[in-house]
Chain A
Amino acid sequence: MSFLYCFKAEWIKKKGSLAAWLVIIGGFFTPAIRTCAAIYRSEATRKALLKPDFWNNHWLASWDTIAMFLLPMGVILATSLVTQIEFKNNTWKQLHTTPQSYTNLFLAKLAVILVMLVQFLVIFTIGTYLSGIIPSLIISNAGWPTAAIPYSKIFSDSVYFFMDCLPIVAIQFLLSLQFKNFLVPVGTGMALWITAMISLSWKYSYLVPFSQSALFYLKNSGRITRDLPVHEVALLYFTLITVISYILYITKKEKG
Protein backbone atom coordinates (compact mmCIF):
# COMPACT_ATOMS: atom_id res chain seq x y z
CA MET A 1 0.00 0.00 0.00
CA SER A 2 2.74 2.36 0.98
CA PHE A 3 4.57 1.48 -2.27
CA LEU A 4 1.47 2.55 -4.19
CA TYR A 5 1.54 5.99 -2.54
CA CYS A 6 5.24 6.27 -3.35
CA PHE A 7 4.53 5.35 -6.96
CA LYS A 8 1.73 7.93 -7.19
CA ALA A 9 4.04 10.61 -5.78
CA GLU A 10 6.75 9.67 -8.28
CA TRP A 11 4.17 9.77 -11.07
CA ILE A 12 3.19 13.36 -10.13
CA LYS A 13 6.86 14.38 -10.25
CA LYS A 14 7.23 13.48 -13.91
CA LYS A 15 4.14 15.50 -14.86
CA GLY A 16 5.06 18.18 -17.40
CA SER A 17 8.71 17.15 -17.25
CA LEU A 18 10.93 16.77 -20.32
CA ALA A 19 10.91 12.99 -19.83
CA ALA A 20 7.10 12.87 -19.99
CA TRP A 21 7.10 14.84 -23.26
CA LEU A 22 9.91 12.68 -24.61
CA VAL A 23 7.71 9.58 -24.27
CA ILE A 24 4.80 11.15 -26.16
CA ILE A 25 6.85 12.91 -28.85
CA GLY A 26 9.24 9.95 -29.21
CA GLY A 27 6.32 7.51 -29.55
CA PHE A 28 4.69 9.45 -32.36
CA PHE A 29 7.88 10.65 -34.07
CA THR A 30 8.63 7.72 -36.40
CA PRO A 31 4.94 7.06 -37.25
CA ALA A 32 4.54 10.75 -38.13
CA ILE A 33 7.60 10.68 -40.41
CA ARG A 34 6.40 7.46 -42.03
CA THR A 35 2.92 8.95 -42.58
CA CYS A 36 4.42 11.96 -44.36
CA ALA A 37 6.72 9.74 -46.44
CA ALA A 38 3.81 7.45 -47.38
CA ILE A 39 1.70 10.41 -48.51
CA TYR A 40 4.64 11.84 -50.48
CA ARG A 41 5.30 8.49 -52.22
CA SER A 42 1.64 7.97 -52.99
CA GLU A 43 2.07 5.54 -55.88
CA ALA A 44 4.24 3.11 -53.88
CA THR A 45 1.89 3.46 -50.91
CA ARG A 46 -1.17 2.56 -53.02
CA LYS A 47 0.51 -0.71 -53.98
CA ALA A 48 1.83 -1.44 -50.51
CA LEU A 49 -1.60 -0.96 -48.91
CA LEU A 50 -3.04 -3.77 -51.00
CA LYS A 51 -0.36 -6.32 -50.17
CA PRO A 52 -1.49 -9.28 -48.00
CA ASP A 53 1.42 -8.78 -45.60
CA PHE A 54 1.05 -4.98 -45.40
CA TRP A 55 0.78 -4.74 -41.58
CA ASN A 56 3.68 -7.08 -41.01
CA ASN A 57 5.95 -5.08 -43.35
CA HIS A 58 4.67 -1.79 -41.98
CA TRP A 59 5.30 -2.87 -38.39
CA LEU A 60 8.86 -4.06 -39.11
CA ALA A 61 9.71 -0.96 -41.15
CA SER A 62 8.43 1.27 -38.37
CA TRP A 63 10.84 -0.38 -35.94
CA ASP A 64 13.79 0.22 -38.27
CA THR A 65 15.08 3.50 -36.87
CA ILE A 66 13.43 3.05 -33.50
CA ALA A 67 15.14 -0.19 -32.48
CA MET A 68 18.61 0.84 -33.58
CA PHE A 69 18.72 4.47 -32.56
CA LEU A 70 15.66 6.26 -31.18
CA LEU A 71 14.59 3.70 -28.59
CA PRO A 72 18.01 3.33 -26.90
CA MET A 73 18.54 7.11 -27.02
CA GLY A 74 15.05 7.76 -25.65
CA VAL A 75 15.53 5.26 -22.84
CA ILE A 76 18.94 6.75 -21.96
CA LEU A 77 17.50 10.26 -21.82
CA ALA A 78 14.15 9.47 -20.15
CA THR A 79 15.68 7.25 -17.44
CA SER A 80 18.35 9.81 -16.65
CA LEU A 81 15.87 12.70 -16.62
CA VAL A 82 13.35 10.96 -14.35
CA THR A 83 15.99 9.77 -11.90
CA GLN A 84 17.86 13.06 -11.86
CA ILE A 85 14.73 15.08 -10.95
CA GLU A 86 15.88 14.85 -7.31
CA PHE A 87 19.41 16.09 -7.97
CA LYS A 88 18.15 18.84 -10.28
CA ASN A 89 15.71 20.16 -7.67
CA ASN A 90 17.86 19.43 -4.61
CA THR A 91 15.07 17.23 -3.27
CA TRP A 92 16.88 14.07 -2.15
CA LYS A 93 16.95 15.41 1.42
CA GLN A 94 13.19 16.06 1.36
CA LEU A 95 12.49 12.65 -0.15
CA HIS A 96 14.66 10.84 2.36
CA THR A 97 12.97 12.48 5.33
CA THR A 98 9.56 11.12 4.32
CA PRO A 99 8.33 8.10 6.29
CA GLN A 100 9.06 5.66 3.50
CA SER A 101 11.51 2.79 3.34
CA TYR A 102 14.47 3.23 1.02
CA THR A 103 13.31 0.09 -0.78
CA ASN A 104 9.95 1.68 -1.57
CA LEU A 105 11.58 4.87 -2.80
CA PHE A 106 13.98 2.93 -5.01
CA LEU A 107 11.35 0.61 -6.47
CA ALA A 108 8.77 3.36 -7.01
CA LYS A 109 11.24 5.41 -9.05
CA LEU A 110 12.23 2.37 -11.10
CA ALA A 111 8.59 1.38 -11.59
CA VAL A 112 7.72 4.82 -12.97
CA ILE A 113 10.48 4.47 -15.58
CA LEU A 114 9.28 1.00 -16.56
CA VAL A 115 5.67 2.19 -16.85
CA MET A 116 6.87 5.07 -19.01
CA LEU A 117 8.62 2.55 -21.26
CA VAL A 118 5.34 0.62 -21.59
CA GLN A 119 3.59 3.93 -22.27
CA PHE A 120 6.09 4.62 -25.06
CA LEU A 121 5.50 1.20 -26.64
CA VAL A 122 1.71 1.66 -26.52
CA ILE A 123 1.94 5.15 -28.05
CA PHE A 124 4.31 3.87 -30.70
CA THR A 125 1.97 0.97 -31.56
CA ILE A 126 -1.03 3.30 -31.84
CA GLY A 127 1.09 5.68 -33.94
CA THR A 128 2.17 2.84 -36.19
CA TYR A 129 -1.46 1.81 -36.72
CA LEU A 130 -2.45 5.40 -37.52
CA SER A 131 0.49 5.77 -39.92
CA GLY A 132 -0.88 2.70 -41.73
CA ILE A 133 -4.43 3.99 -42.18
CA ILE A 134 -4.01 7.78 -42.51
CA PRO A 135 -2.34 7.57 -45.98
CA SER A 136 -5.24 5.48 -47.26
CA LEU A 137 -7.64 8.24 -46.11
CA ILE A 138 -5.60 11.03 -47.67
CA ILE A 139 -4.24 9.54 -50.91
CA SER A 140 -6.92 9.50 -53.59
CA ASN A 141 -7.93 6.08 -54.90
CA ALA A 142 -5.84 4.35 -52.21
CA GLY A 143 -7.47 1.25 -50.78
CA TRP A 144 -7.97 0.44 -47.16
CA PRO A 145 -5.37 -2.10 -46.01
CA THR A 146 -7.02 -5.50 -46.23
CA ALA A 147 -4.26 -7.50 -44.56
CA ALA A 148 -5.03 -8.88 -41.11
CA ILE A 149 -3.36 -7.06 -38.26
CA PRO A 150 -0.82 -9.46 -36.64
CA TYR A 151 -1.91 -8.72 -33.06
CA SER A 152 0.04 -11.50 -31.42
CA LYS A 153 3.25 -10.57 -33.25
CA ILE A 154 2.81 -6.91 -32.32
CA PHE A 155 2.28 -7.89 -28.71
CA SER A 156 5.17 -10.35 -28.52
CA ASP A 157 7.56 -8.01 -30.34
CA SER A 158 6.62 -5.20 -27.96
CA VAL A 159 7.24 -7.45 -24.95
CA TYR A 160 10.63 -8.48 -26.36
CA PHE A 161 11.65 -4.92 -27.13
CA PHE A 162 10.59 -3.98 -23.59
CA MET A 163 12.80 -6.75 -22.19
CA ASP A 164 15.71 -5.77 -24.42
CA CYS A 165 15.61 -2.19 -23.15
CA LEU A 166 15.83 -3.28 -19.51
CA PRO A 167 19.67 -3.33 -19.36
CA ILE A 168 19.69 0.28 -20.60
CA VAL A 169 17.14 1.23 -17.93
CA ALA A 170 19.14 -0.51 -15.19
CA ILE A 171 22.51 1.01 -16.15
CA GLN A 172 21.11 4.52 -16.62
CA PHE A 173 19.18 4.22 -13.36
CA LEU A 174 22.27 3.16 -11.43
CA LEU A 175 24.39 5.98 -12.89
CA SER A 176 21.71 8.63 -12.40
CA LEU A 177 21.26 7.67 -8.74
CA GLN A 178 24.97 7.95 -8.08
CA PHE A 179 26.08 10.97 -10.06
CA LYS A 180 24.77 14.48 -9.60
CA ASN A 181 26.13 15.62 -12.94
CA PHE A 182 23.58 14.81 -15.66
CA LEU A 183 26.35 14.47 -18.24
CA VAL A 184 27.84 11.41 -16.51
CA PRO A 185 24.86 9.04 -17.06
CA VAL A 186 24.00 10.48 -20.47
CA GLY A 187 27.62 10.48 -21.67
CA THR A 188 28.21 6.93 -20.41
CA GLY A 189 24.94 5.81 -21.99
CA MET A 190 25.93 7.26 -25.35
CA ALA A 191 29.38 5.65 -25.15
CA LEU A 192 27.84 2.26 -24.33
CA TRP A 193 25.36 2.61 -27.18
CA ILE A 194 28.15 3.43 -29.68
CA THR A 195 30.12 0.42 -28.37
CA ALA A 196 27.05 -1.76 -28.84
CA MET A 197 26.54 -0.54 -32.42
CA ILE A 198 30.20 -1.18 -33.28
CA SER A 199 30.01 -4.67 -31.81
CA LEU A 200 26.85 -5.77 -33.69
CA SER A 201 28.77 -7.94 -36.18
CA TRP A 202 30.75 -9.63 -33.42
CA LYS A 203 29.91 -13.23 -32.54
CA TYR A 204 29.23 -12.38 -28.90
CA SER A 205 27.65 -9.00 -29.46
CA TYR A 206 24.58 -10.03 -27.43
CA LEU A 207 26.79 -9.85 -24.34
CA VAL A 208 27.42 -6.14 -24.89
CA PRO A 209 24.92 -4.07 -22.90
CA PHE A 210 22.68 -1.81 -25.01
CA SER A 211 22.98 -4.12 -28.08
CA GLN A 212 19.92 -6.24 -27.30
CA SER A 213 17.13 -4.20 -28.92
CA ALA A 214 19.17 -3.71 -32.12
CA LEU A 215 20.03 -7.41 -32.26
CA PHE A 216 16.42 -8.43 -31.74
CA TYR A 217 15.33 -6.09 -34.54
CA LEU A 218 18.01 -7.48 -36.90
CA LYS A 219 16.91 -11.02 -36.07
CA ASN A 220 13.23 -10.15 -36.39
CA SER A 221 13.74 -8.57 -39.79
CA GLY A 222 15.75 -11.56 -41.01
CA ARG A 223 19.11 -9.78 -41.20
CA ILE A 224 20.60 -12.09 -38.59
CA THR A 225 19.82 -15.78 -38.88
CA ARG A 226 21.74 -17.34 -35.98
CA ASP A 227 20.00 -17.88 -32.67
CA LEU A 228 21.04 -15.48 -29.96
CA PRO A 229 20.00 -15.55 -26.27
CA VAL A 230 19.29 -11.80 -26.47
CA HIS A 231 16.27 -11.64 -24.13
CA GLU A 232 17.81 -13.95 -21.55
CA VAL A 233 20.98 -11.84 -21.43
CA ALA A 234 18.89 -8.67 -21.19
CA LEU A 235 16.94 -10.02 -18.20
CA LEU A 236 20.13 -11.25 -16.54
CA TYR A 237 21.81 -7.85 -16.94
CA PHE A 238 18.73 -6.07 -15.66
CA THR A 239 18.49 -8.22 -12.55
CA LEU A 240 22.18 -8.05 -11.78
CA ILE A 241 22.58 -4.31 -12.33
CA THR A 242 19.38 -3.48 -10.44
CA VAL A 243 20.59 -5.45 -7.42
CA ILE A 244 23.95 -3.62 -7.52
CA SER A 245 22.13 -0.32 -7.94
CA TYR A 246 19.90 -1.07 -4.93
CA ILE A 247 22.86 -2.01 -2.71
CA LEU A 248 24.72 1.16 -3.70
CA TYR A 249 21.59 3.23 -3.06
CA ILE A 250 20.77 1.93 0.40
CA THR A 251 24.37 1.98 1.59
CA LYS A 252 25.01 5.56 0.49
CA LYS A 253 26.43 7.47 3.46
CA GLU A 254 24.90 10.82 2.56
CA LYS A 255 21.24 10.75 1.67
CA GLY A 256 20.75 14.39 0.85
Chain B
Amino acid sequence: MYCIETHDLCYRFSKEQTVLNGINLQVPTGSIFGFLGPNGAGKTTTLRLLLGLLKKQEGRISIFGKDLAKNRINILRNTGSLIESPSLYAHLSAAENLQIQQMMYQCSSLRVKEVLEIVGLSHTGRKKTGQFSLGMKQRLSIAIALLHNPSLLILDEPTNGLDPNGIIEIRDLLKKINAEQQITIVISSHLLAEIEKLVTHIGIINKGQLLFQGTLPQLQTKQSLDACFIFQTNNNTAAAAIITACGWEATEQNDLLCLPLAEDQVIASLNRQLVQNGIEVYRIMRQQNDLESIFINLVK
Protein backbone atom coordinates (compact mmCIF):
# COMPACT_ATOMS: atom_id res chain seq x y z
CA MET B 1 0.00 0.00 0.00
CA TYR B 2 1.44 3.33 -1.03
CA CYS B 3 0.93 6.48 0.99
CA ILE B 4 1.97 8.65 -1.96
CA GLU B 5 1.73 7.73 -5.62
CA THR B 6 2.34 9.96 -8.60
CA HIS B 7 1.71 9.02 -12.20
CA ASP B 8 3.60 10.70 -15.02
CA LEU B 9 3.98 13.89 -13.09
CA CYS B 10 5.34 16.67 -15.29
CA TYR B 11 5.94 20.31 -14.53
CA ARG B 12 7.26 23.13 -16.65
CA PHE B 13 8.03 26.67 -15.55
CA SER B 14 8.10 27.61 -19.25
CA LYS B 15 8.06 25.80 -22.61
CA GLU B 16 11.83 25.59 -22.57
CA GLN B 17 12.23 24.77 -18.88
CA THR B 18 10.94 21.32 -17.95
CA VAL B 19 11.45 20.79 -14.24
CA LEU B 20 9.79 17.38 -13.83
CA ASN B 21 9.44 14.81 -16.55
CA GLY B 22 7.19 11.80 -15.96
CA ILE B 23 7.79 11.24 -12.25
CA ASN B 24 6.21 8.00 -10.96
CA LEU B 25 6.84 8.17 -7.27
CA GLN B 26 5.73 5.40 -4.92
CA VAL B 27 6.15 5.99 -1.21
CA PRO B 28 5.12 2.96 0.88
CA THR B 29 2.95 3.60 3.93
CA GLY B 30 4.98 3.65 7.15
CA SER B 31 8.30 4.13 5.37
CA ILE B 32 10.93 6.81 5.75
CA PHE B 33 11.47 7.79 2.16
CA GLY B 34 14.65 9.68 1.35
CA PHE B 35 14.18 11.87 -1.71
CA LEU B 36 17.63 12.52 -3.05
CA GLY B 37 19.02 14.64 -5.79
CA PRO B 38 21.48 17.42 -6.42
CA ASN B 39 20.41 21.06 -6.12
CA GLY B 40 17.94 21.94 -8.88
CA ALA B 41 17.04 18.30 -9.59
CA GLY B 42 13.31 18.86 -8.98
CA LYS B 43 12.93 17.70 -5.36
CA THR B 44 11.30 20.85 -4.01
CA THR B 45 9.05 21.18 -7.07
CA THR B 46 7.85 17.59 -6.55
CA LEU B 47 7.18 18.20 -2.85
CA ARG B 48 5.40 21.49 -3.56
CA LEU B 49 3.19 19.68 -6.07
CA LEU B 50 2.45 17.00 -3.47
CA LEU B 51 1.30 19.72 -1.07
CA GLY B 52 -0.76 21.58 -3.66
CA LEU B 53 1.48 24.64 -3.50
CA LEU B 54 2.01 24.42 -7.24
CA LYS B 55 -0.81 23.90 -9.65
CA LYS B 56 -0.46 20.47 -11.25
CA GLN B 57 0.05 20.61 -15.02
CA GLU B 58 0.25 16.97 -16.09
CA GLY B 59 -0.06 13.63 -14.34
CA ARG B 60 -1.87 12.45 -11.24
CA ILE B 61 -1.11 12.70 -7.53
CA SER B 62 -2.65 10.33 -5.06
CA ILE B 63 -2.08 10.57 -1.30
CA PHE B 64 -3.65 8.14 1.21
CA GLY B 65 -5.26 6.56 -1.85
CA LYS B 66 -7.15 9.77 -2.64
CA ASP B 67 -6.74 12.13 -5.54
CA LEU B 68 -5.07 15.33 -4.32
CA ALA B 69 -6.97 17.60 -6.67
CA LYS B 70 -10.32 16.41 -5.27
CA ASN B 71 -9.39 15.85 -1.62
CA ARG B 72 -6.86 18.61 -0.86
CA ILE B 73 -8.30 19.61 2.51
CA ASN B 74 -8.79 16.05 3.79
CA ILE B 75 -5.26 15.10 2.74
CA LEU B 76 -3.71 18.21 4.30
CA ARG B 77 -5.54 17.48 7.55
CA ASN B 78 -3.30 14.43 7.95
CA THR B 79 -0.14 15.90 6.49
CA GLY B 80 2.59 17.90 8.18
CA SER B 81 5.16 19.75 6.14
CA LEU B 82 8.29 21.82 6.13
CA ILE B 83 9.28 23.21 2.77
CA GLU B 84 12.75 24.73 2.45
CA SER B 85 13.41 27.57 4.90
CA PRO B 86 11.31 27.87 8.07
CA SER B 87 7.95 29.66 7.75
CA LEU B 88 7.45 31.50 11.02
CA TYR B 89 5.89 34.77 12.15
CA ALA B 90 8.97 36.60 13.37
CA HIS B 91 7.05 39.03 15.63
CA LEU B 92 5.42 36.17 17.59
CA SER B 93 6.74 33.65 20.12
CA ALA B 94 7.12 29.93 19.46
CA ALA B 95 3.90 29.18 21.37
CA GLU B 96 1.97 31.85 19.46
CA ASN B 97 3.22 30.46 16.15
CA LEU B 98 1.98 27.05 17.23
CA GLN B 99 -1.33 28.50 18.42
CA ILE B 100 -1.96 29.82 14.90
CA GLN B 101 -1.42 26.34 13.48
CA GLN B 102 -3.48 24.80 16.27
CA MET B 103 -6.41 27.00 15.17
CA MET B 104 -5.87 26.09 11.54
CA TYR B 105 -5.75 22.35 12.22
CA GLN B 106 -8.36 22.56 15.00
CA CYS B 107 -6.36 20.26 17.23
CA SER B 108 -6.03 20.20 21.01
CA SER B 109 -4.28 23.19 22.60
CA LEU B 110 -2.37 20.71 24.82
CA ARG B 111 -0.37 19.70 21.77
CA VAL B 112 1.34 23.12 21.72
CA LYS B 113 3.17 22.35 24.96
CA GLU B 114 3.80 18.75 23.95
CA VAL B 115 5.48 19.51 20.63
CA LEU B 116 7.52 22.33 22.15
CA GLU B 117 8.88 19.77 24.60
CA ILE B 118 9.50 17.22 21.84
CA VAL B 119 11.71 19.66 19.89
CA GLY B 120 13.30 21.10 23.04
CA LEU B 121 11.93 24.63 22.75
CA SER B 122 9.70 24.76 25.83
CA HIS B 123 12.15 27.14 27.54
CA THR B 124 11.80 29.90 24.91
CA GLY B 125 8.82 31.59 26.64
CA ARG B 126 7.94 34.97 25.15
CA LYS B 127 11.09 35.26 23.03
CA LYS B 128 10.15 36.24 19.49
CA THR B 129 11.02 33.72 16.80
CA GLY B 130 12.76 36.49 14.86
CA GLN B 131 15.45 36.28 17.54
CA PHE B 132 15.82 32.48 17.22
CA SER B 133 18.89 30.86 15.69
CA LEU B 134 18.36 29.03 12.39
CA GLY B 135 18.54 25.70 14.23
CA MET B 136 15.80 26.79 16.66
CA LYS B 137 13.64 27.99 13.78
CA GLN B 138 14.12 24.66 12.04
CA ARG B 139 13.08 22.78 15.18
CA LEU B 140 10.01 24.97 15.61
CA SER B 141 9.07 24.28 12.00
CA ILE B 142 9.30 20.56 12.73
CA ALA B 143 7.12 21.13 15.82
CA ILE B 144 4.54 22.83 13.58
CA ALA B 145 4.67 19.88 11.18
CA LEU B 146 4.08 17.45 14.09
CA LEU B 147 1.45 19.53 15.90
CA HIS B 148 -1.68 17.80 14.58
CA ASN B 149 -0.32 14.22 14.77
CA PRO B 150 -0.15 13.79 11.02
CA SER B 151 0.03 10.42 9.25
CA LEU B 152 2.40 11.84 6.66
CA LEU B 153 5.33 14.19 7.10
CA ILE B 154 6.84 15.94 4.09
CA LEU B 155 10.14 17.53 5.02
CA ASP B 156 12.27 19.40 2.52
CA GLU B 157 15.86 19.53 3.75
CA PRO B 158 14.81 19.75 7.43
CA THR B 159 18.33 19.64 8.83
CA ASN B 160 19.50 22.75 6.94
CA GLY B 161 21.28 25.03 9.36
CA LEU B 162 21.45 22.48 12.14
CA ASP B 163 24.73 21.64 13.87
CA PRO B 164 25.84 17.95 13.96
CA ASN B 165 24.13 17.43 17.33
CA GLY B 166 20.95 18.98 16.02
CA ILE B 167 21.06 16.74 12.95
CA ILE B 168 21.43 13.63 15.14
CA GLU B 169 18.58 14.81 17.42
CA ILE B 170 16.23 15.40 14.48
CA ARG B 171 17.22 12.06 12.96
CA ASP B 172 16.47 10.25 16.23
CA LEU B 173 13.20 12.13 16.60
CA LEU B 174 12.06 11.18 13.10
CA LYS B 175 13.06 7.54 13.63
CA LYS B 176 11.15 7.52 16.91
CA ILE B 177 7.91 8.97 15.55
CA ASN B 178 8.10 6.68 12.54
CA ALA B 179 8.55 3.62 14.75
CA GLU B 180 6.05 4.58 17.46
CA GLN B 181 3.31 6.21 15.41
CA GLN B 182 3.91 4.59 11.99
CA ILE B 183 4.07 8.04 10.41
CA THR B 184 5.20 7.97 6.79
CA ILE B 185 8.03 10.42 6.32
CA VAL B 186 9.27 11.86 3.05
CA ILE B 187 12.53 13.66 3.58
CA SER B 188 14.47 15.37 0.84
CA SER B 189 18.14 16.10 0.80
CA HIS B 190 21.02 16.63 -1.58
CA LEU B 191 23.38 14.81 0.80
CA LEU B 192 23.10 11.03 0.82
CA ALA B 193 25.34 10.67 3.87
CA GLU B 194 22.91 12.82 5.85
CA ILE B 195 19.88 10.57 5.38
CA GLU B 196 21.56 7.22 4.72
CA LYS B 197 21.24 6.38 8.41
CA LEU B 198 17.61 7.36 8.59
CA VAL B 199 15.68 6.11 5.58
CA THR B 200 14.12 2.77 4.71
CA HIS B 201 13.45 3.69 1.08
CA ILE B 202 15.19 5.94 -1.36
CA GLY B 203 14.20 7.85 -4.48
CA ILE B 204 16.90 9.47 -6.58
CA ILE B 205 15.97 12.31 -8.89
CA ASN B 206 18.10 14.26 -11.32
CA LYS B 207 17.22 16.79 -14.02
CA GLY B 208 13.52 16.14 -13.41
CA GLN B 209 13.72 12.36 -13.85
CA LEU B 210 13.42 9.68 -11.23
CA LEU B 211 16.53 7.53 -11.65
CA PHE B 212 15.93 5.02 -8.87
CA GLN B 213 13.40 4.21 -6.21
CA GLY B 214 13.29 1.30 -3.87
CA THR B 215 14.55 0.04 -0.55
CA LEU B 216 18.04 0.58 0.77
CA PRO B 217 18.93 -3.14 0.23
CA GLN B 218 17.74 -2.81 -3.39
CA LEU B 219 20.04 0.16 -3.83
CA GLN B 220 22.87 -1.79 -2.23
CA THR B 221 22.27 -4.69 -4.65
CA LYS B 222 22.39 -2.24 -7.52
CA GLN B 223 25.60 -0.97 -6.03
CA SER B 224 27.24 -4.40 -6.01
CA LEU B 225 26.06 -4.99 -9.60
CA ASP B 226 27.57 -1.71 -10.63
CA ALA B 227 30.83 -2.31 -8.76
CA CYS B 228 33.88 -3.19 -10.85
CA PHE B 229 37.64 -3.55 -11.00
CA ILE B 230 39.62 -0.73 -12.54
CA PHE B 231 42.85 -1.29 -14.48
CA GLN B 232 45.18 1.54 -15.37
CA THR B 233 47.73 0.59 -18.03
CA ASN B 234 50.02 2.22 -20.59
CA ASN B 235 47.86 0.86 -23.48
CA ASN B 236 44.24 0.39 -22.57
CA THR B 237 43.14 -0.63 -26.08
CA ALA B 238 45.66 -3.46 -26.26
CA ALA B 239 44.91 -4.43 -22.67
CA ALA B 240 41.18 -4.56 -23.41
CA ALA B 241 41.83 -6.88 -26.35
CA ILE B 242 43.93 -9.24 -24.17
CA ILE B 243 41.32 -9.28 -21.41
CA THR B 244 38.55 -9.95 -23.96
CA ALA B 245 40.64 -12.78 -25.42
CA CYS B 246 40.76 -14.27 -21.89
CA GLY B 247 36.94 -14.36 -21.86
CA TRP B 248 36.26 -11.21 -19.82
CA GLU B 249 34.57 -8.05 -20.90
CA ALA B 250 36.51 -4.86 -20.37
CA THR B 251 35.19 -1.40 -21.17
CA GLU B 252 37.25 1.73 -21.56
CA GLN B 253 36.20 4.70 -19.45
CA ASN B 254 38.36 7.80 -19.77
CA ASP B 255 41.92 6.55 -19.13
CA LEU B 256 40.78 3.44 -17.32
CA LEU B 257 39.57 -0.07 -18.04
CA CYS B 258 36.57 -1.39 -16.13
CA LEU B 259 35.91 -5.06 -15.49
CA PRO B 260 32.99 -6.64 -13.72
CA LEU B 261 33.66 -7.91 -10.22
CA ALA B 262 35.64 -11.16 -10.25
CA GLU B 263 37.58 -13.32 -7.84
CA ASP B 264 41.07 -12.27 -6.81
CA GLN B 265 42.64 -15.25 -8.66
CA VAL B 266 41.01 -14.11 -11.91
CA ILE B 267 42.37 -10.58 -11.50
CA ALA B 268 45.84 -11.97 -10.72
CA SER B 269 45.70 -14.17 -13.82
CA LEU B 270 44.58 -11.26 -16.05
CA ASN B 271 47.36 -9.10 -14.63
CA ARG B 272 49.89 -11.85 -15.43
CA GLN B 273 48.61 -12.06 -19.04
CA LEU B 274 48.88 -8.28 -19.47
CA VAL B 275 52.44 -8.16 -18.14
CA GLN B 276 53.48 -11.17 -20.23
CA ASN B 277 52.17 -9.31 -23.32
CA GLY B 278 54.30 -6.28 -22.55
CA ILE B 279 51.56 -4.13 -21.07
CA GLU B 280 52.62 -2.00 -18.13
CA VAL B 281 50.00 -2.20 -15.39
CA TYR B 282 50.14 0.89 -13.18
CA ARG B 283 47.22 0.25 -10.93
CA ILE B 284 44.47 -2.28 -10.17
CA MET B 285 41.73 -1.23 -7.80
CA ARG B 286 38.22 -2.04 -6.83
CA GLN B 287 35.90 0.89 -7.59
CA GLN B 288 34.46 2.46 -4.48
CA ASN B 289 30.97 1.13 -4.03
CA ASP B 290 29.50 3.05 -1.14
CA LEU B 291 26.10 4.69 -1.48
CA GLU B 292 27.71 8.04 -2.15
CA SER B 293 29.44 6.79 -5.29
CA ILE B 294 26.33 5.08 -6.67
CA PHE B 295 24.43 8.31 -6.08
CA ILE B 296 27.09 10.29 -7.90
CA ASN B 297 27.12 7.74 -10.73
CA LEU B 298 23.35 7.93 -11.04
CA VAL B 299 23.20 11.71 -11.20
CA LYS B 300 26.25 12.12 -13.50
Contacts and interface: CB of A to CB of B under 8 A. Distances in A.
Interface of A: 2, 5-6, 8-9, 12-13, 15-17, 85, 88-101, 253-256
Contact of A256 (B53, B74, B144): B53
Given A2-B106, A16-B91, 9 more contacts: A5-B103, A6-B103, A9-B100, A12-B100, A94-B87, A97-B52, A97-B81, A98-B104, A253-B54
Contacts of B118: none
B121 interface: no
B104 A6 contact: yes
B89 A99 contact: no
Contact of B144 (A15, A17, A88, A94): A94
Contacts of B91: 15-17
Contacts of A254: 53-55
Contacts, number: 85
Contact of A91 (B53, B73, B77, B89): B89
Given A2-B106, A17-B91, A89-B90, A97 B100 contact: no
A93 B87 contact: yes
A85 B144 CA distance: 18
Given A98-B104, A254-B53, A254-B54, A85 B74 contact: no
Contacts of A96: 51-53
B89 A98 contact: no
A12 B92 contact: yes
B112 to A, nearest CB: 12
B66 to A, nearest CB: 13
A64 B99 CA distance: 41
A33 B210 CA distance: 67
B101 A98 contact: yes
Sorting the interface of chain B by its residue count into under 10, 10 to 19, 20 to 34 or 35 or more gives: 20 to 34
Contacts of B101: 9, 94, 98
Interface of B: 48, 51-55, 73-74, 76-77, 79, 81, 83-92, 96, 99-101, 103-106, 144
Given A101-B73, A254-B53, A12 B106 contact: no
B295 to A, nearest CB: 27
Interface centre among B51, B84, B101, B104 (most CB of A within 10 A): B104
A100 B52 contact: no
B99 A97 contact: no
B73 A100 contact: yes
Contacts of A101: 73
Contacts of A94: 81, 87, 101, 144
23 contacts: A2-B106, A6-B104, A12-B99, A13-B89, A15-B92, A15-B96, A91-B88, A92-B87, A93-B84, A93-B87, A94-B87, A94-B144, A96-B51, A97-B52, A97-B53, A97-B83, A98-B104, A99-B105, A253-B54, A254-B54, A254-B55, A255-B53, A256-B48
A85 B83 CA distance: 18
Contacts of B53: 93, 96-97, 254-256
Contacts of A9: 99-101, 103-104
B73 A99 contact: yes
Nearest to B99: A12
Nearest to B89: A89
B87 A99 contact: no
B199 to A, nearest CB: 22
A2 B104 CA distance: 8
